[in-house]
Amino acid sequence: MKVLVIGSGLGGLLSAALLSRAGHEVDVFERLPITGGRFTNIEYKGFQLSTGALHMIPHGPTGPLGTLLKELGAEVKIIRSNPMAIIRIPKEKDGTDYSQGYQDIDFHDFKKYFSLNNKIKLAILMSTTRIFPPKSGSMAQWCSKNLKGDWALRIADSFCGWALSLKAKDVPAAEVFEMIENMYRYSGSGVPLGGCKAVIESLINIISSCGGKIHTCSEVTQIIIENQKAIGIIANGKEYHGNIVISDIGHKETSRLYKYDTINSAAEKYLAAIKKLKSSAGIKICLASDEPLIGHAGVLLTPYSRRVNGINEVTNIDPSLAPAGKHLTMAHQCVHWDRLDKLEEEIDLGLKDLEEIFAGKEYEILLIQSYYGEWPVNRSSSGTDLTNKTPIEGLYVVGDGAKGKGGIEVDGIALGVRNAINDILNSYPINR
Ligand SMILES: Cc1cc2nc3c(=O)[nH]c(=O)nc-3n(C[C@H](O)[C@H](O)[C@H](O)COP(=O)(O)OP(=O)(O)OC[C@H]3O[C@@H](n4cnc5c(N)ncnc54)[C@H](O)[C@@H]3O)c2cc1C
């Protein structure tokens, strides 16, 4: 079987590696001169910055991505972050200014700051929501309905902002509970040694060793459809034919690349669902320092800052991500849709947060990156993912526009890829 893959992001390369390992002929088309999409390194002043991700794999070596990489025989080592997460709060419990002193508490101890009443209520709620997850409503609504005070909402906002680049009011409560459950199930996040690029290079090695081809600087401008079936693509003006087309560029962008022969009810439904998709936006600020700013390998959640949701310092796990003796720290903040036209203001607020959080410490701002539109944090905000199928036979969508249920970020991508490939291998027998 001949497979054409549009885009060399993690979703595209995982699919290409699985199918080329299964004996299929695979061609990957990437419009940029580099591979990896939003999950690769860019070297700057000797630091391994990234095109997107914060070099973290949410569910570490034993999660969906870690497991898939292992199955593929990918040569990449994922080191578990320890502690899982730390919450930084101002010293004065009801204060809001980190520069007046702060205290760090372990994520597992966040209940410590609830009133006795809330503690009892939470213990009951935690066990009942496991069995009966909330059927509707956002995480913010769940917090204000069930727990008094603003502590729970601050933690929820900081957690959703870091993990999904969304505010708690924009994430279904059921989704957050599933994420927390998975955090504990897989024992937390991890960092691949060598950063995101190590994962991408290991996949490229697998694809190449199985005879797959990767065409960079090759923008796909059309998906060729015949009788409601994908039969090929056009890249750089040249036609390529195949049995299956897998797109790693999200449902919306994929649907712009073809025209329907006829719009049936399935296509109508699909087009309506696509219209509702919303990507999530964010800002990443990369800092360099001689001394560690955080000093541990977990995520530092900052629920009392103006904008920054969380910070990590990956050099505490992999010193090779910075020049010798230096540290790389990355802060992430979500940008709400109604603030997209005020990115400069959002950046200033984030920088002010960092001045307070790291008051008295010396650091250099290496790079500030903003992510939105066609280069977002997440193509489908959590809980809104469509499946990997499209109304066109033989056309699949993978990547963070079609994550598998319950999976976040790259682990969600791995779940989606597994679903898509299982479907392809069941529907199209090998006829190489
Ligand atoms: C600031 C930030 C922080 C993040 N942090 C993390 C993190 O720590 N951990 C984590 O798990 N996730 C994180 N993410 C999310 C993660 O980076 C993405 O979910 C993931 O990289 C998306 O991969 P993908 O395969 O869906 O697509 P992409 O990486 O977007 O790849 C798609 C590729 O297709 C190419 N392309 C587009 N159109 C065409 C065309 N017409 N023809 C050919 N090629 C085309 C693009 O150039 C691109 O290379 C973060 C994202 C951002 C932005």
pLDDT digits 0-9 by tens, 38-50 = 999 999 999 999 9
Looking at the structure, do residues 264 and 295 belong to the same domain, yes or no? no
Can you give the pLDDT at residue 91?
A: 81
Can you give the pLDDT at residue 383?
A: 73
Question: Residue 120 falls within a domain, yes or no?
Answer: no
CB atoms within 10 A of CB 187: 16
The number of folded domains in the chain is 2
115 Cβ contact list (under 8 Å, min separation 6): 148, 149
Looking at the structure, do residues 284 and 320 belong to the same domain, yes or no? yes
Looking at the structure, do residues 363 and 396 belong to the same domain, yes or no? no
Q: Is the pTM of this model over 0.85?
A: yes
Low-confidence ranges of the chain (pLDDT < 70): 93-96, 130, 429-432
Question: How far apart, in whole angstroms, are the C-alpha atoms of residue 72 and residue 36?
Answer: 17
**Long-range own/partner contacts, residues 323-326 (CB < 8 A, 24 or more apart):** 323/45, 323/46, 323/47, 325/290, 326/46, 326/47, 326/288, 326/289, 326/290
Query: Could you give the count of Cα atoms lying within 13 Å of 407 in the half-sphere of its Cβ?
Result: 27
Can you give the pLDDT at residue 432?
A: 46
Can you give the pLDDT at residue 147?
A: 81
Looking at the structure, do residues 268 and 206 belong to the same domain, yes or no? yes
Question: Residue 313 falls within a domain, yes or no?
Answer: yes
- Is 195's C-beta closer than 6 angstroms to any atom of ligand 1? no
Question: Residue 238 falls within a domain, yes or no?
Answer: yes
Looking at the structure, do residues 208 and 271 belong to the same domain, yes or no? yes
Task: Please give the residue range of the domain that contains residue 251.
Answer: 2-77+194-276+381-427
- Is 311's C-beta closer than 6 angstroms to any atom of ligand 1? no
Can you give the pLDDT at residue 223?
A: 98
Looking at the structure, do residues 386 and 245 belong to the same domain, yes or no? yes
Pocket test for ligand 1, best of 34, 38, 252, 299 (most atoms within 8 A of CB): 38
Looking at the structure, do residues 231 and 348 belong to the same domain, yes or no? no
CB 276 within 8 A of CB 37: no
Question: Residue 175 falls within a domain, yes or no?
Answer: no
Looking at the structure, do residues 411 and 392 belong to the same domain, yes or no? yes
Looking at the structure, do residues 261 and 288 belong to the same domain, yes or no? no
- Is 10's C-beta closer than 6 angstroms to any atom of ligand 1? yes
- Amino acid sitting at position 275: K
- Is 408's C-beta closer than 6 angstroms to any atom of ligand 1? no
Question: Residue 225 falls within a domain, yes or no?
Answer: yes
Q: Output the six-digit token pair for 409.
A: 């970020």
Can you give the pLDDT at residue 86?
A: 95
